Structures are given as structure tokens and as C-alpha cells.
Structure 1
Amino acid sequence: MTAESDGRPAVTRRGALRAGGVAALAGLAGCTALPSAPGRAGSGSDDGPVAVASFFTFFDFGRQVADRTPLTVENLVPTGLHGHGWEPNASITRRIIEADAFVHVGEDFQPWADRAIETIKGDDVDTALVNARKGIDLVDLAATLDREEEGVGAQRGQDPHFWLDPRRAKRSVDNIADGFAALLPEHADTFRDNAAAYKADVLDRIDSDYEAIFDRAERDIVQLAAHNAFQYIGVRYGVRMRPLVTNLAASGDVKPVDIREAVTTIRENDIRYIANGVFESQRPAQQLVRETAVEAYFPVTPYAGVREEWVEENWGYEEIADNINMPTFEIVLGNESPREAAPSAGWLEQWRNFDPV
């Protein structure tokens, strides 16, 4: 830490915020309230070290890695919102600056996170940056990507949704463990032991279960009434993911040509069930149910957000895979009937042609 001319230690930006000072930061940090209380998990105390995450998936990975350590991990994305395309208010920047570490998804995916990182670097804030995407190979965007979307939300025409592949997700768990170990080296062994256990017990098991689902499918195409977020599932397990919204934005518009191509795909492949994003518009899926042989749509999610009941039940990446994505893939691939695939009583009633969040 540098020293000022009077010999007193310089006050870090984060320290000043914690002390309630530095009026010059008011325009950046603001005083608006969070739209919803973020998730918080860990065994640390309220005044202990805190890591904040820009995306639900990496909050969940982070809390698994931080188990049995003083580090608390927080999810910055409010409940009910999709983590990609959300623009937070200024209080989120303040929370990042106050934190000991910021877990993010790498460049060009969440513009607000990129701006926060620029602030941290430009103002010498002592918040440690943990890039969950470090060293991970990305795949090229699907050929169906709109040309005007090239480079928007992606890095040089590559798909940023790598965490849907459990094998790539394992590398991000290691990245988080390394970042936490650098922050709290006295707990490095615990962070890395937790990471190893989570990869072996959860991500390897999910990978095996997904592989079994796709291996026994006679159909090799999935029609999604959702945005272009699932290509890593297709690449990893050899299935064609056909998104209705061909760009990367969850709020992207559905064009008439998109509907026509989906109708053709449904007819040519005798598709009776399709998948739809939990946090996306239901109107295109409803249109396909009305105008094609599709009987129903069921939920999928790229682990980008959480519902209130998922928070109450403490669901993470594992529980969402088991209770949302896997049953739906069983159904839309034709492996099982909706009733056979339903993991619990009431699932079919809740999720068949489900209402928007």
C-alpha cells in the first residue's frame, strides 16, 4: 500500500466506502437499493472476507469452493432475472468495490461487469479479480447467429456459454479455487480440496448423466424456443441445438423467418415437445404449440438466474441440472414421456406450458 506525504497509509477505495467516506465516489456508488437481495452463502462472519459473483453459476461454484472457510460468497444478480442482459443500478458497483474479490465471466459477456473491472483497475481498487473463464477454449458461434450480433456479448465471434459443458465448467471451478487461494492463502488447501470434490462428485456425475441421456436418444435435434445459449451441450454430446432466437441476447426478437424455420424443423423431425427458456418470453413457444404439431413446451435454463423457490430450496447448478434441464432433454429427445421424465410429483403440472417468471 502506498503512503501519503504526511506518513499516514493511503486509504483504499474499498476501505473508504466501508468507512462511509469519499464523497467523490457518490456518482459511481450511488445510494439506490438493490432490486432484490442477492444470494449469500458461506461459513464466514458478516465482517469477514467476501467474494461477489457476476453470474449465478459462478456464485454457486464459488460457495462450493469456499465451504468450511471464512470466505462468504454473494450472487450479485437479483432473483428472477437473467444474468446476461441485466443492467444493474449503481449500488452493485459499490458492492463490488467493497468486496475482497470479484468473480466474473471474462470479457465481452456482461458489459456492466466489464465496466466495474475497468473502475477497479483504473482507480487501483484492491478488489481481487477472479476470471472464471481463464484458459477455457470457446467454440465458434452457431452458423445461425445474426450477422449484426457478431461480437456482441461474445469474444471475437465465439460463444461465451462454456459452463453448460460440465467438463469446461471444471476448469472454471479450478480458476475460482486458485483465485480464492491467492486471496486467503492460509485456506488454499481447503479451497482446492473442495474444488476437487465438487468436480468429482457433481460435475463428473452430471457429465455422465447427460451423456447417457443423449446417447440413448434416437433423435439428434432439439428445438428450443429460446436464445442461442445451449450450443455447448450440443457440441459436447453430439446433438443439434436449434435455438429459435438465433442471437445471444435472451431478450432477442423472434423474426418471422425464425418461426418458419422452426416449423420446418418440427415437421421434418416429427417433434412433439420443445424446450423453452425459464426466464424468456413464452409467446414464441405458445405460437409453435398453436400452429404446429407440438403438444407442449418444457423448461431449460443456462443456469443464468434463479427463481424464488429455487433459492428457498438452496438449488445450485447441480439441482437445476437434475430437476430442470435433464427431465426436459429426456422429453424433447423422445427418450421418455413427460410423465415418465417428471422428477417429482407436481413437476408436470408446474412445467408443462409453464407461465413466465
Structure 2
Amino acid sequence: MNTKLGTESSRLSRRRALAAGAGLLASGLAGCLGSASGGNGGETDAESTSNSTEDGPVVVASFFSFYDFARKVAADTPLTVKNLIPTGLHGHGWEPNASITREIIEADAFIHVGEKFQPWADRAIQTLKDDEIDTQLINVREDVELVELAASLDPEEEGVGEGRGQDPHFWLDPQRAKQSVDNITEGFVELAPEHEDAFRENAETYKTEVLDRIDRDYQQIFDSADRNVVQLAAHNAFQYIGVRYGVEMRPLVVNLAASGDITPSDITEAKRVIEENDIRYIGAAVFETRRPAEQLLAETSVEAYYPVTPYAGVREDWVEMGWGYEEIAYNINMPTFEVVLGNKSPDEVGPDGWGEQWRNFE
């Protein structure tokens, strides 16, 4: 982590100074960081927590899950935490415009997911270093044990081995997610040491009362299932759940890109899995195209698809309800896993009307 020196007043002076010249800095970086695509043109919703007046340190996050963890750690302190990803967009594969660059430049700290996951974040970090801008860097992936790509699939079939790399989606495992909470906490202590006790207490509470509970409830779902195979019309982002709970996740897109191409052989393989395992329901990714799920619905015995998400983004209604990692786990992913594993019918899970609301969702 980069160390940011100086008192809170010096940080505020720095922010004001940067604000005055941020237009030049941002315009100079726009070509490096790429232009916005889709959604609202790359403008952030500027979701924040703890201190809306921004009199204290300001932290920006490159990914929704870690924004949510950070706002929990920063609760009841002067720290402001902002989510850079616009509502309705997937946090993986998005390219920001200069307004996001300006947010990073002016922030006191930047929470990111480590190298080679969000190219725009990598380029922003390199620019900060090249221009000697002292925004503190907090890498949530530091000291997290990653697994090989496609580790939850058949190694012979998927070709797992040397050269395949590692899967970055570790936060889907609640136990691995706890390490990212620790990394955020250490970064905040470095940034605002006068609030160390609050940061550490908030982090410990979140890990034990939320992440451990999510872990136990997930474990119960998968332990109760007669089937250990889940078919997902989604990209390969869920295998940490498979590794943690001993279930085989079958993504339709076997690479890491949410927009990855689906080949005829991918469809053929999904049909085989569905037939051999007598699968009635499948999961479909909330922030990805539904066309593959609709194709499987039309060409197989599957009756419906229901939502899954790797916590990579949020819908407007989720923001309005204040949903974070915990609420998405209990209202989206857990009910769907209950259904696709055959533990319960769609009408038996989630809040009243869940099955009808999310059946073949748009």
C-alpha cells in the first residue's frame, strides 16, 4: 500500500488544490483510461456513506463489493466512501470517462481489486504513480489465496493447468472475502489512524456477524441438496462458491469475460449437463445478456431461469433499498441456488412473490 503522509488538514488542502486543476489532469488522462461505454456515459452515481459533506478523507472504490465492505468498515467515522461503478453496469469490463479519473485523482484513497482484473484501474494506478499523485492505494486482493481458473470443473475436460492463470472472483467465498475486509481496514487505519478503534470494531463485527453467517447459510443450502451440479447461463465467475461448498458450477461462458462469446459447443455441453442431471431451473446473470438463457429455455427441458450475480453491480431498486453484499446474497443468490439445486420450488424461496418476480426476468 502507498503511504499518504500529512495531517487531515493537509489532505483537505491537497484535495482543494487538485480540484482546481483536475480538469487539466483528467483531460490529460482521458485518452489513457478510455471512453465510457453504455449505461449513463460513465458518470458515477456518487454513492457515499458516513460523511456526505466530505469534510474527512474521501475513498473511492473500483468495484461494488468492496465499496460495500468499505462503507461498513467506515461506519460512524468521518470517512466518506464512494462507488465508482454506475448503477446498472457490471464492474468487470467497464471503461470510464474523465469524470471517474477526476474522482480518483481527488480522492485520498483508491480501493482496487489487484492487477489484471480491471484494466482501467491498472492504468489509473500507473498514472497516479507516474505523476507522483499521493492517492493511497488499497489492494483488496493482497494475501488472498486464489484458485486456478475453472478449478470447479472437470480438469481433463476444461484443460486446467499451467498457463491458465488464477480466478480473481475470490469475494464470492465469504471466508476469502474476510481477508479483503482486513485489507480495507488496514488501509483505513493508515489513512485515518485516529479512528483505528472504530475501523477495527466495525470490521470484526461485519466478518463475524455477516460474512460468517452468510457462509453458514450457504453451506446449509448446498449440504441439503441431492444434486451437486448447477447450470448457469453466465460467465465463469462463480467457481469460488463451487470450491467452497463442493458443488460443480457449469458456466455457459467458460472464460472470465462477462461479454465472452458463446459457441455452439458451449450450448451443446449445457444441454448435456441439463439432460444428464434432470435440471429444471438454471441461473442467469443479472447484468449479462439473457439470450443464452432464453436459448436453453427454448431448446431444452428447462422450465425457467432465475437470477445470480457475482456482486459486481447493482440495480436502481437495489440502491434505493440500500442493498449491499449481504442483502444480495439473501435476496438474489441464495434463493436461486435453492431453486436450481432442487431444494425448494420457486414459490417457496425468498420474500413473497419472489418466484414470480424473478422468473425469466428481463
Q: Shared fold (TM-score greater than 0.5)?
A: yes
- Deviations along 1:206-263, one digit per CA (max 9) or x if unpaired, are 0000000000100000000000000000000000000001110111111100000000
SS in 2 for 1:244: strand
Does 1:236 find its partner at 2:237?
no
CA–CA distance in structure 2, aligned partners of residues 23 and 229 of structure 1: 38
The match for 1:336 is 344
The match for 1:84 is 92
Quote how far apart the aligned CAs of 1:23 are: 3.8
Does 1:256 find its partner at 2:264?
yes
Match of 1:219 among 227, 245, 248: 227
CA–CA distance in structure 2, aligned partners of residues 34 and 293 of structure 1: 40
CA–CA distance in structure 1, aligned partners of residues 199 and 100 of structure 2: 26
Quote how far apart the aligned CAs of 1:189 are: 1.1
User: Which of 43-52 and 343-352 deviates more?
Assistant: 43-52
Aligned length: 339
Quote how far apart the aligned CAs of 1:40 are: 1.4
SS in 2 for 1:243: strand
The match for 1:5 is none
Does 1:17 find its partner at 2:18?
yes
CA–CA distance in structure 1, aligned partners of residues 192 and 28 of structure 2: 31
The match for 1:352 is 359
CA–CA distance in structure 2, aligned partners of residues 283 and 24 of structure 1: 41
The match for 2:184 is 176
Quote how far apart the aligned CAs of 1:41 are: 1.5
Quote how far apart the aligned CAs of 1:349 are: 2.1
Does 1:273 find its partner at 2:274?
no
- Deviations along 1:178-201, one digit per CA (max 9) or x if unpaired, are 000000000011101100000001
CA–CA distance in structure 1, aligned partners of residues 196 and 306 of structure 2: 41
- Deviations along 1:292-345, one digit per CA (max 9) or x if unpaired, are 11000000000000000000000000000000000000000000011111x112
Runs (4+) of structure 1 moved beyond 6 Å? 30-33
Quote how far apart the aligned CAs of 1:34 are: 4.5
Match of 1:115 among 88, 105, 123: 123
User: Which of 125-134 and 21-30 deviates more?
Assistant: 21-30
Quote how far apart the aligned CAs of 1:36 are: 4.4
User: Is the 1:227–1:248 contact (alpha carbons within 8 Å) kept by the matching residues of 2?
Assistant: yes
Contiguous gaps of at least 5 residues in structure 1: 3-8
SS in 1 for 2:166: coil
Quote how far apart the aligned CAs of 1:171 are: 0.5
Does 1:104 find its partner at 2:104?
no
CA–CA distance in structure 1, aligned partners of residues 258 and 233 of structure 2: 11
- The one-letter code sitting in structure 2 at the alignment partner of 1:185 is P
The match for 1:246 is 254
- Deviations along 1:116-139, one digit per CA (max 9) or x if unpaired, are 110111111111000001000100
Q: 1:105 to 1:295 in 2, by over 3 A?
A: same
CA–CA distance in structure 1, aligned partners of residues 139 and 330 of structure 2: 27
The match for 1:61 is 69
- The one-letter code sitting in structure 2 at the alignment partner of 1:340 is E
Q: 1:24 to 1:208 in 2, by over 3 A?
A: closer
SS in 2 for 1:129: strand
- The one-letter code sitting in structure 1 at the alignment partner of 2:243 is V
The match for 2:320 is 312
- The one-letter code sitting in structure 1 at the alignment partner of 2:128 is I
The match for 1:28 is 29
TM-score (norm 1): 0.90
SS in 2 for 1:242: strand
Quote how far apart the aligned CAs of 1:90 are: 1.5
Match of 1:131 among 121, 129, 139: 139
Quote how far apart the aligned CAs of 1:22 are: 7.5
- Aligned-pair identity (%): 67
CA–CA distance in structure 1, aligned partners of residues 144 and 360 of structure 2: 36
CA–CA distance in structure 2, aligned partners of residues 26 and 187 of structure 1: 35
Q: 1:260 to 1:96 in 2, by over 3 A?
A: same
Contiguous gaps of at least 5 residues in structure 2: none
User: Is the 2:347–2:353 contact (alpha carbons within 8 Å) kept by the matching residues of 1?
Assistant: no
User: Is the 1:105–1:131 contact (alpha carbons within 8 Å) kept by the matching residues of 2?
Assistant: yes
The match for 1:46 is 54
The match for 1:6 is none
